[in-house]
Amino acid sequence: MEDSDPIPNQWDDACLVAALLSLSPRHCKGVAIRGRHGPVRDAWLHLLDDLCGKSTKLRRLPAHASEQRILGGLDLAATLKAGFPVADRGILADANGDLLVATMAERMNARLAAQIGQALDNGKLIAEREGLRLKSSARFGLVVLDESLDDEPPPSDALLEPLAFRIGLEDIPPNALDNPNYTADCLVAARERLPRVFTTDQVIEALCAASLRLGISSVRACTLAANVATVHAALKGRTETSQQDAEAALRLVLVPRATQWPQDEVPEEQEPEPPEPSEAPDNRGENSDDPPDLQELTDILVEAAKAILPRDLLTKVAMQKSIRARAAAAGRSGVGRSKAPRGRRAGTRPGQLTSGQRLNIVETLRAAAPWQTVRRRMNEGQGANGQRIEIRPDDIRIQKFHHPTESTIIFLVDASGSAAAQRLGEAKGAAELLLADCYVRRDQVALIAFRGKSAELVLPPTKSLVRAKRALTGLAGGGGTPLADALHMGGSLAQDQRKRGRSPILVLLTDGQANIAKDGTQGRAQASADALSIARALRAQGIQSLLLDISPRPRAAAAELATALDAHLELLPYADAQSVSNLVRREAASANSGL
């Protein structure tokens, strides 16, 4: 490690990525850039454009470009003018040999993202659209601009996974943008050198070993890392990959994908928890019987990874996972709801015009236009007027809509013990406050109270304020805490709501202390074990939850439950209806922001 270079700063690495990508988009596939629009990003894109020279162009791929525009289709105006089918090739096919810059990629629809990812993978595009079969080479590099905020879902994996690089430009001060050492001219020489660069077995093996120890499951990441090492060697004027190339590949390709702190390879010492980085054992000299070079290189790589891995890696990985799970769950529940004629316009589909559907006139005319000659000919001799435009049922195009998911807020209220009366009162108040403005948000509210031996659905999901008030009056409190049963009931209700196309949010008002087990028996240990296992199952289903700890003093049990549920935990020793309803509203808003 002594002789390796100091860790380059972020801007240097960003410049290196630009150089590698413009050197060979075929090997690197592309880069995902986190960071909002600003001088740093502009400077980087400028640099990339300069390095690409005249041979490769940067083309924009707007997030809201239509499927037709991206994949290609029938160019109707040209077709009608020419009298034979003329294809509009679409952005992907046009970008063959170039670099595509996808702006606001986190907003891109999952299906389109998947198709772009497939084209990137296959290097060609096959589209079957509107009477045409379009087959074209689509060898392009992709620059994904990710402007998502911390708690928003990042761009689809379909876009990110095939790309070699991920860089963040957020933390780079705009005044530190030195001129990089790369020019378009030096890349020309490197590009010529590239086909002759030999990727050594040692570098491949060390990168693969490092990928395993960093917990990277994708084998494609290894292939990309090996590619990048090769391109890096060409850039640095070598004809064979070396340790420096492997280090660059590790830093640029593997480390951003790491999901665990590097495990040390000594099997008897395997620790499930990441060891403190300071006490990382240095036992390199001891196992000198192993093939020295490979082992050594792997260790060098892993040590290098440790130096640059973010300290809060595990938290970050867990957070990303839960954001993704929620996005997927939301996407799933969104299926089948696009029929309602409100929300944002989201493409058209063929279909019958029934009540409640909206006709898209332009698309319908587009569908009918090419067939007018045939139809006129059919109608000749039947005395029909040849001047009219003939529209057949097949031509009808229905407008599809996409609108944000409607939430069902399910309160799980701990009605046991002494604080029951107050808690219930505040939950009731919060439910009523939420319902009071639900006609705007189209939310529904349900309430499950748990006390004694079991949980009870006091208020089934409703929008009706009157009904809620009636159901919530005269709720009694006291007795044991059947938390497991309550979670079970809440989970089933949440699943049921999901099937109805709504997105459920569980709001728990409890101190997390269970004392009645799933089967109704008493006992603290079993009860809390049951509750936690159900909570984990709920998390696995990606059900969003919010835990409001309303005990006077915060307890470990609540924190433990929140972790198992992956819930936001809020301490509310003096819960009042207004603050509960504000918190719930914020939670619901964060659930919808990703859509």
Range 334-353, binding other proteins (CB under 8 A): 335-336, 349-351
Does 492 bind other proteins (CB under 8 A)? Our answer is: yes
Backbone φ and ψ for 457, nearest 5 degrees, come out as -80, 95
Does 293 bind other proteins (CB under 8 A)? Our answer is: no
Residue 403: CA count within 13 A, CB half-sphere: 14
Q: Which of 36, 344, 388, 392 binds other proteins (CB under 8 A)?
A: 392
Q: Are 163 and 174 in contact (CB under 8 A)?
A: no
Site for other proteins in 364-383 (CB under 8 A): 370-371, 373-378
Shortest separation between residue 68's beta carbon and other proteins, angstroms: 9
Q: Which of 28, 204, 506, 550 binds other proteins (CB under 8 A)?
A: 204
If DSSP codes are grouped into helix, strand and coil, which group holds residue 342? coil
Shortest separation between residue 539's beta carbon and other proteins, angstroms: 10
What is the token pair recorded at 355? Answer: 């009540």
User: Residue 581 and residue 432: Cα distance in Å, rounded?
Assistant: 9
Does 223 bind other proteins (CB under 8 A)? Our answer is: yes
User: Residue 298 and residue 208: Cα distance in Å, rounded?
Assistant: 9
Does 325 bind other proteins (CB under 8 A)? Our answer is: yes
Site for other proteins in 507-536 (CB under 8 A): 533-534, 536
50-79 footprint of other proteins as x/- string (CB under 8 A)? -----------------x---x--x----x
* Residue closer to other proteins, measured from CB, 377 or 467: 377
Short-list 247, 256, 259, CA closest to 304: 247
Q: Which of 75, 130, 147, 406 binds other proteins (CB under 8 A)?
A: 130
* Residue closer to other proteins, measured from CB, 402 or 463: 402
CA Rg, the chain, in Å? 29
Q: Which of 326, 366, 428, 488 binds other proteins (CB under 8 A)?
A: 488
* Residue closer to other proteins, measured from CB, 84 or 574: 84
Q: Which of 22, 115, 444, 510 binds other proteins (CB under 8 A)?
A: 115
Angle at 124 between CA 118 and CA 127, to 5 degrees: 75
Q: Which of 78, 189, 307, 328 binds other proteins (CB under 8 A)?
A: 328
Contact window for other proteins (CB under 8 A) among 143-151, 305-313, 446-454, 490-498:
490-498
* Residue closer to other proteins, measured from CB, 111 or 442: 111
Q: Which of 48, 61, 91, 158 binds other proteins (CB under 8 A)?
A: 158
DSSP 533-583: HHHHHHHHTT-EEEEEE-SSS--HHHHHHHHHHT-EEEE-TT--HHHHHHH
Q: Are 547 and 567 in contact (CB under 8 A)?
A: yes
Strand partners, 462: 445
Cα dist from 244 to 183, 216, 294, whole Å: 21, 21, 14
Shortest separation between residue 375's beta carbon and other proteins, angstroms: 7
Site for other proteins in 238-257 (CB under 8 A): none
Strand partners, 60: 101
Do the bridges between strand 58-61 and strand 99-102 make them parallel or antiparallel, or are there none, so unpaired? parallel
Cα dist from 329 to 50, 139, 318, 333, whole Å: 42, 33, 16, 6
Q: Are 102 and 108 in contact (CB under 8 A)?
A: yes
Shortest separation between residue 365's beta carbon and other proteins, angstroms: 16
User: Residue 519 and residue 526: Cα distance in Å, rounded?
Assistant: 10
* Residue closer to other proteins, measured from CB, 321 or 463: 321
Short-list 404, 335, 346, CA closest to 592: 404
Short-list 581, 534, 529, 585, CA closest to 557: 529
User: Residue 49 and residue 91: Cα distance in Å, rounded?
Assistant: 18
* Residue closer to other proteins, measured from CB, 318 or 572: 318
Does 280 bind other proteins (CB under 8 A)? Our answer is: no
Total site size for other proteins, rule CB under 8 A:
78
Q: Which of 4, 218, 287, 578 binds other proteins (CB under 8 A)?
A: 218
Shortest separation between residue 315's beta carbon and other proteins, angstroms: 20
Site for other proteins in 554-583 (CB under 8 A): none
Backbone φ and ψ for 259, nearest 5 degrees, come out as -120, 0
Shortest separation between residue 338's beta carbon and other proteins, angstroms: 8
* Residue closer to other proteins, measured from CB, 127 or 300: 127
Q: Which of 65, 114, 457, 559 binds other proteins (CB under 8 A)?
A: 114
